[in-house]
């Protein structure tokens, strides 16, 4: 298994590498550059970095204006403020005119830990997914994040990219045949009894859950659905047909996010049991991140339990 790196750290590095190749890339932040890791960009390319202060709504509008002039802005802050506070600016100034702005939300989910509920955004997938024109992406590890940043730079349109705070194991670089494409999920583990569709740091937990299940004779397929929108419906439908049951897992409210996207797709195209795992429509609380995750059941064990139930539903 690979070393542990936070996806936000990988983002910061990828952005600097990207800027070296593409002079149109600019970055904005709202006084959180040392947390979102856009700081390295600000130090390397000070003329292309704009610290907009603690004013996220204006930052999104400024990013939109820059995009109308051919710039490729990456505007980062915490997920709570990018998708939450500045929601309407993202909708009306960026997504509606389909401007080429990458809205970057760091510290998504409960793994923010100690800062507690005000900063633990478990609603960003939902908020961004319901906006027309928006692409929504949340890579699971450092390798995937770097590939995503490059792909998003090539993608001409508005997108939301969620970054995580915690250092997480790099898993995708060790998967044979793994390749990254926006809008295409990646099968990280084959399986025939149940499919676990995962996103972000729940991908690693899904792989661990599959190991647990393997010991019990349950053969779980694991899909890394890094792009929640547009959803890879083809891959999902195939998995539903071949395994007959689906579990979704996300560091997000089970309302509005990956789970509902998957359920919505399969309800119409290939109805099979779909059990959603994630944050059960509740606010988080302060604590060390691993303890917070455990408190809310974001564990491989809990995913495995959902998978067992899903398999039972087939009978």
CB burial of residue 190 (10 Å; 0-12, 13-18, 19+): exposed
**By CB under 8 A, is residue 62 in contact with another protein?**
yes
280 binds another protein (CB under 8 A): no
- Shortest CA distance to 97 belongs to which of 140, 122, 64? 64
**Which lies closer to another protein via its Cβ, residue 57 or residue 313?**
57
For residue 170, give the 3-state DSSP assignment.
coil
Q: Which is nearer to another protein, 91 or 146 (CB)?
A: 91
Interface with another protein in residues 6-25 (CB under 8 A):
none
Neighbour-count burial for 117-135, b at 16+ CB within 10 Å, e otherwise: eebbbbbbbbbbbebeebb
Q: Which of 12, 61, 256, 259 binds another protein (CB under 8 A)?
A: 61
The beta strands (E) that lie in 107-245 are given as: 135-137, 159-162, 167-169, 186-189, 194-198, 220-224, 227-229
Q: How far is the CB of 97 from another protein (least distance, A)?
A: 4
| Residue 67 sits in the site that holds another protein (CB under 8 A) | yes
Residue 131 to residue 244: CA distance in whole angstroms: 31
Is residue 150 close enough to count as binding another protein by CB under 8 A? Answer: no
Residue among 3, 69, 217, 315 that touches another protein (CB under 8 A):
69
Query: Which residues share a beta bridge with 104?
Result: 76, 161
Would you count residue 120 as binding another protein (CB under 8 A)? no
Which x/- pattern over 35-54 shows residues binding another protein (rule: CB under 8 A)? ------------xx-x-xx-
- Stated as kind and residue range, the H or E segment containing 8 is helix 7-21
Strand partners, 92: none
Quote the least distance from Cβ 164 to another protein, whole Å: 28
In sequence order, what E strands does the chain have? 4-6, 25-29, 49-51, 72-78, 102-106, 135-137, 159-162, 167-169, 186-189, 194-198, 220-224, 227-229, 246-253, 274-279
Q: Are 105 and 163 in contact (CB under 8 A)?
A: yes
Measured from the CB of residue 123, what is the shortest distance to another protein in angstroms? 21
Count of residues of this chain found to bind another protein when the rule CB under 8 A is applied? 30
Of 96, 150, 178, 297, the one binding another protein by CB under 8 A: 96
Whether residue 56 lies in the annotated active site: yes
In this complex, which beta carbon is closest to another protein, that of residue 68 or of residue 301?
68
Q: What is the smallest separation between the CB atom of 112 and another protein, expressed in angstroms?
A: 25
Q: Could you tell me the smallest distance in angstroms from the CB atom of residue 111 to another protein? A: 29
**Cα-to-chain-centroid distance, residue 234:** 20
Q: Does 228 bind another protein (CB under 8 A)?
A: no
User: Closest CB to another protein among 24 and 238?
Assistant: 24
Residue 97 touching another protein (CB under 8 A) = yes
Q: Which of 3, 13, 17, 56 is catalytic?
A: 56
Residues found near another protein in the complex (CB under 8 A): 26, 47-48, 50, 52-53, 55, 57-71, 73, 88-89, 92-93, 96-98
Q: What are the residue numbers of the active site?
A: 56
């Amino acid at each position: 298994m690979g070393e542990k790196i936070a996806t936000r750290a990988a983002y910061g590095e990828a952005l600097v590498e990207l800027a070296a190749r593409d002079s149109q890339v600019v970055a904005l932040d709202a006084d959180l550059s040392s947390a979102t890791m856009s700081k390295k960009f600000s130090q390397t390319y000070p003329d292309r970095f704009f610290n907009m202060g603690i004013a996220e709504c204006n930052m999104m509008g400024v990013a939109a204006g820059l995009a109308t002039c051919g710039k490729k802005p990456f505007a980062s802050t915490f997920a709570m403020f990018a998708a939450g506070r500045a929601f309407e600016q993202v909708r009306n100034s960026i997504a509606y005119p389909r401007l080429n702005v990458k809205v970057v939300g760091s510290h998504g989910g409960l793994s923010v830990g100690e800062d507690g509920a005000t900063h633990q955004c478990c609603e960003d997938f939902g908020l961004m997914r319901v906006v027309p024109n928006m692409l929504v992406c949340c890579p699971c590890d450092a390798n995937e994040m770097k590939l995503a940043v490059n792909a998003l730079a090539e993608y001409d349109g508005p997108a939301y990219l969620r970054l995580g705070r915690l250092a997480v194991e790099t898993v995708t670089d060790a998967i044979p045949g793994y390749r990254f494409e926006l809008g295409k999920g990646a099968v990280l583990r084959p399986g025939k009894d149940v499919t676990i569709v995962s996103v972000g740091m729940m991908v690693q937990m899904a792989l661990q859950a599959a190991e647990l299940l393997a010991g019990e004779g349950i053969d779980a397929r694991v899909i890394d659905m890094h792009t929640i929108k547009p959803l890879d419906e083809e891959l999902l439908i195939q998995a539903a047909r071949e395994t007959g049951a689906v579990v979704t897992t996300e560091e997000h409210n089970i309302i509005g996010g990956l789970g509902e996207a998957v359920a919505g797709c399969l309800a119409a195209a290939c109805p099979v049991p779909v059990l959603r795992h994630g944050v059960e429509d509740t606010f988080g609380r302060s604590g060390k991140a691993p303890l917070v995750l455990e408190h809310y059941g974001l564990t491989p064990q809990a995913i495995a339990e959902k998978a067992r139930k899903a398999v039972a539903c087939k009978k």
